[in-house]
Amino acid sequence: MSESITLHWVDWAIIISYIIFSLGVGIYFSKRAASSTEEYFLSGRSLPWWIVGTSMVATTFAADTPLAITEFVRGPGIWQNWFWWNLLMGSLLGVFLFSRLWRRAEVLTDNELLEIRYSGKPAAFLRAFKAGYFAILYNFIVMGWVINAMASVVSVMLNMDKWTAVWLCVIIALVYAILSGFWGVVVTDLVQFLIAMFGSIALAIIALNYVGGMETLLFKLNQLLGTDVVTENTLKFIPPIPDEGLGTQTFWESPFSKFLIFTTIMWWSHHGTDGGGYIIQRMSSAKNERHALLATLWFNLAHYALRVWPWIIVAVVSIVMFPIIPSEYSELGVKAGYPLVMNTLLGPGLKGILIVSFLAAFMSTIDTHLNWGVSYLINDIYRRFFKPDESERHYVFAGKIMTIVLMVLAAFTALKMQSISKAWEFIFSMGAGIGLVLILRWFWWRINAWSEITALATSIIITITLELIAYFQTINNDLQYSLFGASPVIFGIQLQIHHKLMIIVPIAIIAWVSVTFLSKPEPIEKLEEFYKRVQPGGWWGPITSNFKHTLQPVTKGIFILWVSGVLMIYGFTFGIGNLIFQNYGASVILFGCAGLGSYLIWNKSISKLT
């Protein structure tokens, strides 16, 4: 290890102080969290918007996030971030529709809604299946990804065996997640977010000053990459459109086709369209509808507009500082650019804070997935099907036992995972065709349990079929097959995740719409009970003919609010980006759009909620 990686005692003092703080939070909230499942999994539905929204932001930042951003920027360019930037359009439905609806539903988990909205054995099966699928299979892959990423960071940042450090972090996160439940998660998330933002902004400023400022950085980038065109492509916010002379096949394999599919299909078709598990958990923990909406709006502003640019600046600087990644970090690849900049430029104190920000990000994601996954196992499987009449303290204790089991199994799964990014795409594909059903089950009375089962089953079957095609193609070419290691080739195109969406989503929609009209609707009594509870608005003709609303339907004015949200968040996101890279004219226009969107959201929604 190089001398720069040796930590000063100040850095160790900062790291140890943070660990003591995390454990202290767990001990402080342990008694309150143990009183009931609602306290343990939702903090008694008493949280203000700024804690809830900040917890959402902290949870979606794991140790791998700055590394992934660095890989995007050093690879295709800044525009590759549309892989997740596109999801804002679906997240805005979460802000203006689902944050309020989930708070009205007053469920402990989103799967609990299935037996409120649907009836009979199909609803019970769907609840149990989705709870097990997300708590175990989905959760293991996410936690495996996060644990592997943290191990990679530690291999660069600390002079110790990487798995020793990671197991230490796992144990600390496990202890306070068990002791304090959701209370410990959200309180530590708040501190973790502040540390992470301070650390990333400080590193970006130091890195930019080191290379001589933005103008010098852009000049050096041009020199290094050879041409203005290459540099421009690296810094583009939207991928380049292919030349007119290219054929159809080449177009569908181009970056611009990926951008088009992400922005037109991906954001409304995936399994998190109505919020997604742990975001829904936080919506449900807010004090009331207004706090749920404000929390989700703040989350989207911080998640898309504020947090990403310090990482992007460091990633661009890393191209200049480390055009070629040193051979000892070849296992990490170009992702190593971020921690290498940290090691080179940060002195005692700041290095400790940056390391703590990585630890905090890692731990906030792990404890969230533990608490959320266990809430599914307890509320939707154990309590629902095995032990329905036990005391609240019994369920909390059972949850603590399951937390330990879940963590140990996830850690061992991480040790065995090889192609984790391919596994992630596989899981994403398996839920790719269900998004529209998750939206419409709130707003259209005709949706039934078989609609959702069909959408999910179709996505799973097609995804497995495509993997089998990849398997047989690999074997027939006398190559060695590894799970998720190869992409199927159909009509001469090597199918990536966005190509799979073009197959899965249309077939899933045709399948579930057909099944919906071929099967009976849910009983009128069930539909009336659901509508009275959440009063969403939409297409509920047989139910609402003589219904007197006591709550405002959330669909009122939704289109204007959605467009306003797009203007606000994308306006701030790309306004800040253009300001950083000195495109001042575009920046002023985008900030104007953001201001208009913000005004409309306040005037038409927030100011009217109590």
Query: Could you please report the per-residue DSSP string of 418-444?
Result: S-HHHHHHHHHHHTTT-HHHHHHHHHB
Spatial distance between the Cα atoms of 571 and 573, rounded to a whole number of angstroms? 6
Residue 234 lies in a domain: yes
Spatial distance between the Cα atoms of 88 and 565, rounded to a whole number of angstroms? 9
Start-end of H helices in 133-161: 139-157
Using alpha carbons only, give the angle 48, 358, 497 rounded to the nearest 5 degrees. Answer: 85
The region, left, alpha or beta by phi > 0 then psi within -120 to 50, assigned to residue 387 is beta
Spatial distance between the Cα atoms of 513 and 127, rounded to a whole number of angstroms? 21
Q: What are phi and psi of 388, to 5 degrees?
A: -80, -15
CATH number at residue 349: 1.20.1730.10
State the residue for tokens 């943070």. Answer: 18
Angle of helix 139-157 versus helix 420-430 axis, rounded to 10: 150
Bridge partners for 494 per DSSP? 489
223, burial (CB in 10 Å: exposed 0-12, middle 13-18, buried 19+): exposed
How many other C-beta atoms are found inside a 10 Å radius of the C-beta of residue 542? 12
DSSP assignments along 459-495, one per residue: HHHHHHHHHHHHHHHHHHTT----TT-S--EETTEE-
| Closest by Cα among 259, 269, 254 to 506 | 269
pLDDT at 207: 95
Spatial distance between the Cα atoms of 462 and 454, rounded to a whole number of angstroms? 12
Would the CA dihedral through 562, 563, 569, 573 be positive or negative? positive
Residue 38 lies in a domain: no
110, burial (CB in 10 Å: exposed 0-12, middle 13-18, buried 19+): buried
How many other C-beta atoms are found inside a 10 Å radius of the C-beta of residue 293? 27
Enumerate residues 6+ apart whose C-beta is below 8 A from 273. Answer: 90, 93, 267, 435, 436, 438, 439
Give whole-number Cα distances, 542 to 8, 48, 444, 556, in Å: 70, 37, 11, 19
Structure token pair of residue 510: 């045709």
Bridge partners for 493 per DSSP? 490
DSSP assignments along 315-383, one per residue: HHHHHHH-SS--GGGTTTGGGGHHHHHHHHH--TTHHHHHHHHHHHHHHHHHHHHHHHHHHHIIIIIII
Spatial distance between the Cα atoms of 379 and 452, rounded to a whole number of angstroms? 20
* pTM given for the model: 0.87
Would the CA dihedral through 90, 96, 97, 103 be positive or negative? positive
Structure token pair of residue 300: 């989207």
State the residue for tokens 């203006």. Answer: 96
State the residue for tokens 């008493």. Answer: 46
Residue 37: HSE in the Cβ half-sphere, 13 Å Cα cutoff? 21
Residue 117 lies in a domain: no
Bridge partners for 452 per DSSP? none
Contact at 8 Å (CB) between 18 and 168? no
pLDDT at 147: 79
Residues of the chain below pLDDT 70 = 1-6, 152, 155-162, 165-166, 226-233, 243-250, 331-332, 415-424, 482-485
DSSP assignments along 238-291, one per residue: SPPPPPTTS-HHHHHTSHHHHHHHIIIIIHHHSTTTT--HHHHHHHHHBSSHHH
Residue 94 DSSP one-character state: I
End-to-end CA distance of the chain: 57
Q: What are phi and psi of 494, to 5 degrees?
A: -80, 110
Residue 12 lies in a domain: no
Start-end of H helices in 519-582: 524-534, 541-544, 558-580
Residue 549 lies in a domain: no
Cα pseudo-dihedral 193, 199, 205, 208, rounded to 10? -110
Residue 111 lies in a domain: no
Residue 411 lies in a domain: yes
Domain boundary among 417, 450, 485: 417
In three-state secondary structure terms, 43 is helix
Contact at 8 Å (CB) between 409 and 140? yes
| Range(s) of the domain holding residue 600 | 557-610
Q: How many domains does the chain have?
A: 2
Spatial distance between the Cα atoms of 57 and 68, rounded to a whole number of angstroms? 17
Q: What is the largest CA-CA distance in the chain?
A: 76
Domain boundary among 364, 395, 417: 417
pLDDT at 450: 97
Residue 230 lies in a domain: yes
Domain boundary among 382, 417, 452: 417
pLDDT at 2: 40
Q: What are phi and psi of 35, to 5 degrees?
A: -75, -30
Contact at 8 Å (CB) between 358 and 366? no
Contact at 8 Å (CB) between 204 and 310? yes
Structure token pair of residue 35: 């009183």
Bridge partners for 286 per DSSP? 47
3-state per-residue secondary structure call for 154-166? HHHHCCCCHHHHH
Q: What are phi and psi of 47, to 5 degrees?
A: -90, 140
Structure token pair of residue 375: 């809430």
pLDDT at 4: 41
Spatial distance between the Cα atoms of 366 and 403, rounded to a whole number of angstroms? 11
Spatial distance between the Cα atoms of 336 and 323, rounded to a whole number of angstroms? 11
Amino acid at 500: K
